[in-house]
Amino acid sequence: MAFLCPNCGSVAYTRSSYYATQHTKPAFVQCTNMLCGGTFETITEFVRWVSKPVDQKPGYMPVSPAPERCQKEGGGGCLFDGQIYPIEPDPGLQVMQPPKTTGLPV
């Protein structure tokens, strides 16, 4: 994570960090401006949920994307409701073949 240096305003990058508590993470940050070279400490903290995730129950398996998406991404099968469904090729799809070579050097 990048910050702006409070001294010169240049970009500053995290050099090390650690968890002080489950929701608080202090970090040591160093300025990239060689004329400044400031090093300072920041604190990243969990504040609140914006969108709370679904509680996962034992045996819970997330649902994969719709089969149409799996087909577009070229997968060999699609995981849906815990089962793998093979994807059949679209019969209307035109597959381009590489040009045939004569074997003569170019």
Nearest partner of 89 among 65, 72, 106, 102, judged by Cα: 72
What letter would DSSP give residue 67?
H
**Whether this model's pTM surpasses 0.85:** no
- From first to last of the 106 residues of the chain, give the pLDDT tens digit: 789 999 999 999 999 999 999 999 999 999 999 999 899 999 999 988 888 777 666 665 555 555 555 544 455 555 555 565 565 655 665 555 666 666 666 5
- What burial class does residue 71 get, using C-beta atoms within 10 Å of its C-beta: 0-12 exposed, 13-18 middle, 19+ buried? middle
Question: Which residues have C-beta within 8 Å of that of residue 57, sequence separation ≥ 6?
Answer: none
Q: Which residue reads 């010169």 in tokens?
A: 8
